[in-house]
Amino acid sequence: MQDLKTIVLSNQEISPGYYRMKILASGYSESAKPGQFVMLRVQRSFTPLLRRPFGVFQVGFIPADCDTLPPKEFIELVYKVVGGGTETMRELQSGDAVELLGPLGSGFTADASIAEKILVGGGIGLVPLYMLATELVKTSKVSLFVGGRTRDDIITISEFERLGVNVSVATEDGSLGETGFVTRLLEQRLEEPHQTEVFACGPMPMLDAVQKICATSEVSLQVSLEALMACGVGACLGCVVKGEGHTINEPRYLCSCTSGPVFNAESLDWNKTEAIKMVGGGK
Amino acid sequence: MQDLKTIVLSNQEISPGYYRMKILASGYSESAKPGQFVMLRVQRSFTPLLRRPFGVFQVGFIPADCDTLPPKEFIELVYKVVGGGTETMRELQSGDAVELLGPLGSGFTADASIAEKILVGGGIGLVPLYMLATELVKTSKVSLFVGGRTRDDIITISEFERLGVNVSVATEDGSLGETGFVTRLLEQRLEEPHQTEVFACGPMPMLDAVQKICATSEVSLQVSLEALMACGVGACLGCVVKGEGHTINEPRYLCSCTSGPVFNAESLDWNKTEAIKMVGGGK
Amino acid sequence: MSNAVEQVLKPKLAVEIAGLKLKNPIMPASGTFGYGEEYSPYIDLNQLGAIVTKGMSLNPKAGNNTPRICETVSGMLNAIGLQNVGVDAFIKDKMAFLSQYDTPVIVNFFGNTQEEYGEVAARLDDVPGVAALEMNISCPNVKHGGIVFGTDPQAAAAVVTSVRKRTTKPLIVKLTPNVTDIQILARATEEAGADALSLINTLTGMAVDIKTRKPRLANTIGGLSGPAIRPVAVRLVHQVVQAVKVPVIGIGGITCAADALEFLIVGAKAVQVGTANFVNPDAMATIIADLEKFCVEEGIADINDLIGTLEL
Amino acid sequence: MSNAVEQVLKPKLAVEIAGLKLKNPIMPASGTFGYGEEYSPYIDLNQLGAIVTKGMSLNPKAGNNTPRICETVSGMLNAIGLQNVGVDAFIKDKMAFLSQYDTPVIVNFFGNTQEEYGEVAARLDDVPGVAALEMNISCPNVKHGGIVFGTDPQAAAAVVTSVRKRTTKPLIVKLTPNVTDIQILARATEEAGADALSLINTLTGMAVDIKTRKPRLANTIGGLSGPAIRPVAVRLVHQVVQAVKVPVIGIGGITCAADALEFLIVGAKAVQVGTANFVNPDAMATIIADLEKFCVEEGIADINDLIGTLEL
Ligand SMILES: Cc1cc2nc3c(=O)[nH]c(=O)nc-3n(C[C@H](O)[C@H](O)[C@H](O)COP(=O)(O)OP(=O)(O)OC[C@H]3O[C@@H](n4cnc5c(N)ncnc54)[C@H](O)[C@@H]3O)c2cc1C
Ligand SMILES: Cc1cc2nc3c(=O)[nH]c(=O)nc-3n(C[C@H](O)[C@H](O)[C@H](O)COP(=O)(O)OP(=O)(O)OC[C@H]3O[C@@H](n4cnc5c(N)ncnc54)[C@H](O)[C@@H]3O)c2cc1C
Ligand SMILES: Cc1cc2nc3c(=O)[nH]c(=O)nc-3n(C[C@H](O)[C@H](O)[C@H](O)COP(=O)(O)O)c2cc1C
Ligand SMILES: Cc1cc2nc3c(=O)[nH]c(=O)nc-3n(C[C@H](O)[C@H](O)[C@H](O)COP(=O)(O)O)c2cc1C
Ligand code: FES
Ligand code: FES
């Protein structure tokens, strides 16, 4: 964990609205684990004010400019432009300054005794699964089910294929792969019981469905959640999610930046609880 | 007067911390008068929030990319980097979007019956005098007295010389021209009475001294003032300066964006009046 | 069916406030749009829901010493000191220009005593072309130790009551945000006869030049406006809407249609755009166009169907 | 002579507040620095003037429903709901870590009733390593209709008086900015026994998601912090400094040394850095270094010579 004042190495559009950004990041190739994230500061002014959380897509080395120097370590992010922060990011160019706090959070933990692994990714939720896949393919058979609205939302899958991951695609408009939700693919695969382990990241409705399917099939599931974050280090308590056993009267919150963003599905509360309102804006 | 959504044509450092910026500005070659200014918006976010006022250095035409098209009109600004807004400006490149409100304010008005004109500029205060000089040299003998802290603060004087203006320089550290204040040069010139007209722009202490000298010599003086401005069009009343006859009990304020920024020296109050404080932040 | 499609293509933006019919809910905030004329080269005043003038007093006011403004992070401080030409000169010199437009003119005004407030209102009462009055109660009451009218429920009610007696025009009371409980003030002024409430006026603030160690404003303290204050304004408008029956006009840090929509959704019937006019002289025109687009996208045929639809 | 040069080269930054000796006037604001531990990988806690903890209550608090935070223009809203481990767990689990450092620990705390406030203070009273208490009075008094203690001079004075009886530690009372007249509150709490005052807590604000038409916070309203609020904070600190004799700690939107200096110049003896920690985990280290540089540049040998030197 460190706060690096560093620079962008490259920043490229890979699909309409989706970008890959390489950032010089010494230490990351050793320290970053699959499922971890960084808090990125993209400009000096206060708009946007807060850092933005991004999953680690991969870490690696690029050759140095000169043979006698060690290669440079980088971290790669893949992001979707959705608002002010990511709009600013899209404009960054090689050499621009950024600040990188990380690597942060829990990572995925694979059970070595299970030979088959299934990854389920929705849209930009694919990101943390790539670094996980690079690890898993070393010892296991890995499948990826990936979904999105249209084919533009299906990104980096050739990268997964190059690792030897078996990729199946579903799009809501049928422009690539099966038509429909990615969860259909998972459901089909888990129809006949077999020993496997599922790792999922994507929008909440997708995770809800994945959780139901895995619970029914009694398959172990780890999910990576996206929560609003201010600090990323457990200080603000802004990023909590509801933990298993949460009720209105006895709320149980887990910090998603320190206990997460990857959680075992059983440690979370999957019921839709009603919002409670307090008078006064207590902190 | 128009609010142009336009682009930067070029932006170059001309001396440490001083820049020249050309902006595509159709209509300006006809509409802009010497001494007028523009309100420039340099970025989409709210830091900085307000537009920044800049004097018009010159207007002109550049050849179009294609012979059959009309040449492009531009406006040129010269600015000094002093804070957040000008820091942002320095980073603008050819093609970047800016918004340009103007041309605004009163201009200088030369008395055709007076054959000799004296311009007095302090530092960045030189800017509005250049466009004035381009007009004055057509009919008069024009001298420029220019001052600054060091020689780095003496900018664009070769441009004035190219117009045929007689340039005398004073720097406080003696690194260029005479050592001392520019007002010494004016004082010397006005020692023996002769018919002339003075146009001055620069920091307040300089203008104070120029006013005293001109008043003593009974020479007519126009000054261009720098006031804090929010709107530039007479709506906010933030930019007022004290008018002739101003007292604490009967304050007289003049809007420097509409009645100015160029004023006849006699229409201003040159006494240092005490600040009055009110309870409550009345608007 | 074709009718429904047409409605969606051209949503209805008109709103009504205290009998005043506005083409749309967008108008300038007092003191940020001069007397209208200043911005007429940049924006078509006929487009606006209403025009709100700089605040008028009984006698002309020269305003405060300088510096009067200073920029802060995403905001600005001002202590203009309510400089204005005085109500009589306004009627004589400024109304003719404003009357050319097919847009209701709302005259903002203030006084230093209860009597002054009443007198200004009376002088505006029979002026043709004045559609409504907006009463700025964020001024110190010089007869009562300088306590700001709008921070004291009794004083606020009293001054509104006395103005109410002297005008037949719709009376909008503009509240200050610098109070502990805005709902008490809102109810007090409603009961005293306000036909509508507008808020917020500026938050009191201050900035210091660390080199000279002087306040950045000659007046030491001033009013904070701009995007920085919007969350405070939205909260106060939300609270006032819940406390009163009269229509509420939302003000504070509005720069774009999305900002305006926050206020409309919490229940403001219209909004005023202030500091943003300085940044973008055509801000209000853009907001009106984008409000229309938003309604089309969201299938809202009439903006009134959106007002007050906050889901709690 | 050589001595004078040395002094200028290494200006004295130490300040004293209610008997508490601080290495420098910079400390975190409660709730933005966790229990200290969270930021210890990024900033040397020994550098700080003090460490201020998250607010403690008698019993552990789970906090509010989500979403709890949202970003606004140059600011953020939060409605964390005062989530904390409870005072006993704090003493048991968190103090050992904090006691390693040579930096005074200020424990922020709150209650829902006067009794709770007193009880928390009492439990902290004999804890070694706790240098002072900071009492957050921006909480609703559940026994009195939920009115926020800190907005009512009587309630504020009463709760401070009762806490004062139960602690021998220096007592800092943290004021809310959401009041009409901060000077009344400041004097009331000073008279009730506060050894120092800190301000501001967050401004109450709200933001709306215009697509879902829901508040952006589950709690509807929350506290606005960050650079956006600084002018309001500077004004309030200025007013409080003029109203009381006890030392004042300035808080609100501080991101850099220049921001901190505004508060020191108006008379704050120290400052707290809140939201800026989220943006820059080493913000306070940079501020301390830059404060020192500023003193050197301005020829200030002792920061105390700068405090309260506002020129009016
Ligand atoms: C642990 C974690 C990992 C993430 N990894 C990635 C990734 O690899 N690639 C990617 O494109 N996105 C990722 N996200 C989401 C990403 O953080 C948001 O898309 C981004 O912050 C949006 O910022 P904005 O200013 O463009 O959007 P705005 O909508 O303007 O943001 C406004 C505020 O909402 C927050 N916000 C908006 N959307 C989200 C979201 N989905 N999750 C969390 N906060 C949000 C922002 O941080 C900001 O505070 C991740 C989020 C988390 C929590
Ligand atoms: C009519 C007019 C013409 C001007 N012409 C030029 C010019 O040709 N070249 C040039 O370099 N500068 C010129 N200035 C000054 C220029 O506007 C300021 O230097 C600039 O606004 C500073 O902005 P900043 O954000 O970099 O500085 P900051 O100090 O961060 O600005 C903070 C605030 O102070 C205001 N401000 C700061 N300094 C000045 C100043 N000297 N005058 C007015 N407002 C100020 C800014 O507008 C802003 O609101 C002119 C000013 C006026 C009023
Ligand atoms: C320069 C300036 C002058 C103002 N003058 C007045 C005034 O005369 N009367 C009034 O009621 N409000 C006045 N206001 C307050 C605005 O009308 C508005 O309430 C406030 O600025 C908040 O809106 P904003 O954030 O959109 O600017 C003034 C504001 C500014 C910035
Ligand atoms: C996420 C968050 C949590 C906070 N929690 C507390 C708290 O527990 N007790 C308290 O007295 N103030 C709390 N505050 C208020 C801060 O201590 C501080 O007064 C306020 O944020 C203004 O300072 P800033 O603008 O520097 O953030 C909290 C603020 C934030 C942003
Ligand atoms: S983001 Fe601050 S505690 Fe998780
Ligand atoms: S700058 Fe607004 S009136 Fe002159």
Q: Summarize the confidence of residues A240-245 as an average pLDDT.
A: 94
Residue nearest to atom 1 of ligand 3 (CA): B236
Q: Is the CB of B169 under 6 A from ligand 6?
A: no
* Cα A89 to ligand 1 centre (Å): 12
Per-residue pLDDT at A46 = 79
> Using 50, 70 and 90 to split pLDDT, how confident is the model at A283?
very low
Per-residue pLDDT at A63 = 83
Q: Is the pLDDT of residue A278 over 80?
A: no
Per-residue pLDDT at B71 = 85
Q: Is the CB of A229 under 6 A from ligand 5?
A: yes
Q: Is the CB of A257 under 6 A from ligand 5?
A: yes
Show me where the domains of chain C are located. Answer: 3-63+82-203+225-305
- Pairing type for strands C75-78 and C105-109 reads unpaired
Within 8 A of B47 by CB-CB distance, chain D residues are 74
Question: Look-up: residue for tokens 């889901």?
Answer: C311
A136 close to A66: Cβ distance less than 8 angstroms: no
- Which has more pLDDT, C146 or B115? B115
CA-CA distance, C109 to C129, in Å (whole number)? 16
> Which tokens in the block code for residue D13?
């930054």
Interface test with D, best of A49, A228, A269, A271 (most D CBs within 10 A): A49
Per-residue pLDDT at D125 = 95
Interface test with D, best of A4, A31, A86, A236 (most D CBs within 10 A): A236
* Cα A188 to ligand 2 centre (Å): 66
* Cβ neighbours, 10 Å, residue D8: 15
Q: Is the CB of B231 under 6 A from ligand 2?
A: no
Q: Is the pLDDT of residue B279 over 70?
A: no
CA-CA distance, D136 to D250, in Å (whole number)? 14
Show me where the domains of chain B are located. Answer: 2-104
Per-residue pLDDT at C60 = 94
Residues 6+ apart with CB under 8 A from C294: C257, C258, C261, C300, D210
Ligand 1 residue neighbourhood (C-beta within 6 Å):
A 37, 48, 50, 52-55, 77-80, 82-86, 124, 127, 226-229, 261; D 71
> Which tokens in the block code for residue B231?
């709107």
D121 close to D167: Cβ distance less than 8 angstroms: yes
CB of B45 within 8 Å of a chain A CB? The answer is: yes
Q: Is the CB of B227 under 6 A from ligand 6?
A: no
Q: Is the CB of A39 under 6 A from ligand 5?
A: no
SS (H, E, C) chain C: CHHHHHHHHCCECCEEECCEEECCCEEECCCCCCCCHHHCCCCCHHHCCCEECCCECCCCECCCCCCCEEEECCEEEECCCCCECCHHHHHHHHHHHHHCCCCCEEEEECCCCHHHHHHHHHHHHCCCCEEEEEEECCCECHHHCCCEHHHCHHHHHHHHHHHHCCCCCCEEEECCCCCCCHHHHHHHHHHCCCCEEEECCCEEEECEECCCCEECCCCCEEEEECHHHHHHHHHHHHHHHHHCCCCEEEECCCCCHHHHHHHHHHCCCEEEECCHHHHCCCHHHHHHHHHHHHHHHHCCCEHHHCCCCCCC
Q: Percentage of residues in chain B with pLDDT exceeding 90?
A: 80
Q: Which of B247-251, B276-280, D6-10, D229-233 has the lowest mean pLDDT?
A: B276-280
Q: Is the pLDDT of residue D8 over 60?
A: no
Chains in contact with chain A (at least 3 beta-carbon pairs closer than 8 A): B, C, D
D121 close to D166: Cβ distance less than 8 angstroms: yes
Residue to mutate, A42, A52, A222, ligand 1, most ligand atoms under 8 Å from C-beta: A52
* Cα D79 to ligand 5 centre (Å): 13
CATH number given to A2-104: 2.40.30.10
Three-class DSSP category at B19: strand
CA-CA distance, D255 to D29, in Å (whole number)? 12
Chains in contact with chain B (at least 3 beta-carbon pairs closer than 8 A): A, C, D
Within 8 A of D242 by CB-CB distance, chain B residues are none
CA distance A11 to chain B (A): 19
* Chain A: residue whose CA lies nearest to D221: A281
| DSSP single-letter state for residue D152 | S
CA Rg value for chain D: 19
Q: How far is CA C229 from CA A21, B236, C200, C223, D213, in A?
A: 34, 19, 9, 11, 20
Ramachandran region, residue A174 (left: φ > 0; alpha: ψ -120 to 50; beta: rest) = left
Q: Which amino acid is at C218?
A: A
**Which tens digit of pLDDT belongs to each residue from B49-70?**
999 999 999 999 988 777 777 8
Residues 6+ apart with CB under 8 A from A31: A1, A103
C283 close to C1: Cβ distance less than 8 angstroms: no
> Using 50, 70 and 90 to split pLDDT, how confident is the model at A79?
very high
* Cβ neighbours, 10 Å, residue A187: 17
Provide the b/e sequence for C20-35 (b: ≥16 CB within 10 Å).
bebbbbbbbbbbbbbb
What residues of chain A, 16 to 75, have a C-beta less than 8 Å from chain C?
A: 46-47
CA C263 to chain centre: 13
Q: Summarize the confidence of residues A246-268 as an average pLDDT.
A: 93
Please list the residues that pair with D105 across neighbouring strands: D51, D130
Q: Is the pLDDT of residue A44 over 90?
A: no
How many residues are there in chain C?
A: 312
* Cα C266 to ligand 3 centre (Å): 21
* Cβ neighbours, 10 Å, residue D250: 31
Of A47, A241, A279, the CB nearest to D74: A47
Q: Is the CB of D32 under 6 A from ligand 4?
A: yes
**Which tens digit of pLDDT belongs to each residue from A51-60?**
999 999 999 9
- Pairing type for strands A166-171 and A178-179 reads parallel
C266 close to C44: Cβ distance less than 8 angstroms: no
Question: Look-up: residue for tokens 């005479």?
Answer: B178
CB of B3 within 8 Å of a chain C CB? The answer is: yes
Residues 6+ apart with CB under 8 A from A91: none
Interface test with B, best of C219, C229, C259 (most B CBs within 10 A): C219
Best CA proximity match to D236, nearest among C205, C147, C178: C205
* Cα C81 to ligand 3 centre (Å): 11
Which helix (H) or strand (E) segment is B84 a member of?
Answer: helix B84-90
Q: Is the pLDDT of residue B78 over 70?
A: yes
Per-residue pLDDT at C4 = 52
CB of A46 within 8 Å of a chain B CB? The answer is: yes
Per-residue pLDDT at A58 = 95
CA-CA distance, B84 to B72, in Å (whole number)? 30
Per-residue pLDDT at B275 = 41
Please list the residues that pair with A6 across neighbouring strands: A98
A262 close to A255: Cβ distance less than 8 angstroms: no
Q: Which amino acid is at A154?
A: I
* Chain D: residue whose CA lies nearest to B47: D74
* Cα C267 to ligand 3 centre (Å): 21
Of D223, D275, D282, the CB nearest to A3: D282
Atom number in ligand 3 closest to CA C276: 26
Interface test with A, best of D33, D42, D69 (most A CBs within 10 A): D69
Within 8 A of D259 by CB-CB distance, chain B residues are none
Within 8 A of B46 by CB-CB distance, chain A residues are 47
**Which tens digit of pLDDT belongs to each residue from D189-202?**
999 999 999 999 99
Best CA proximity match to A1, nearest among A98, A104, A97: A104
- Contact between D73 and B46 using a beta-carbon 8 Å cutoff: yes
- Please name the CATH architecture into which domain C3-63+82-203+225-305 falls: Alpha-Beta Barrel (3.20)
Residue D256 a catalytic site member: no
CB of A1 within 8 Å of a chain D CB? The answer is: yes
Q: Which ligand is nearest to the CA of B76?
A: 2
D50 close to D131: Cβ distance less than 8 angstroms: yes
D286 close to D26: Cβ distance less than 8 angstroms: no
Q: Percentage of residues in chain D with pLDDT exceeding 90?
A: 94
CA-CA distance, D26 to D52, in Å (whole number)? 11
- Contact between A281 and D83 using a beta-carbon 8 Å cutoff: no
Q: Summarize the confidence of residues D89-96 as an average pLDDT.
A: 94
**Which tens digit of pLDDT belongs to each residue from C273-311?**
999 999 999 999 999 999 999 999 999 999 999 999 999
Within 8 A of D253 by CB-CB distance, chain C residues are 73
Q: Is the CB of B156 under 6 A from ligand 2?
A: no
* Cα B74 to ligand 2 centre (Å): 21
Beta strands in chain B (DSSP E): 2-15, 18-24, 37-41, 52-55, 58-62, 72-80, 97-104, 116-122, 141-148, 166-171, 178-179, 197-201, 220-224, 240-242, 253-255, 262-264
Atom number in ligand 5 closest to CA A237: 3
- Contact between D220 and C312 using a beta-carbon 8 Å cutoff: yes
Q: Which amino acid is at A210?
A: V
Per-residue pLDDT at B150 = 95
Q: Is the CB of B115 under 6 A from ligand 2?
A: no
Q: Is the CB of D30 under 6 A from ligand 4?
A: yes
CB of B93 within 8 Å of a chain A CB? The answer is: no
CA distance B160 to chain C (A): 34
Residues in D lying within 8 Å of B, measured between beta carbons: 73-74, 312
With a cut of 50, which residues of chain C have pLDDT below it? Answer: 1-2, 7-8
Q: Is the CB of B234 under 6 A from ligand 6?
A: yes
Geometric angle at alpha carbon C179, from C176 and C183, rounded to 5°: 85
* Cα D219 to ligand 3 centre (Å): 30
Which helix (H) or strand (E) segment is D276 a member of?
Answer: helix D276-279
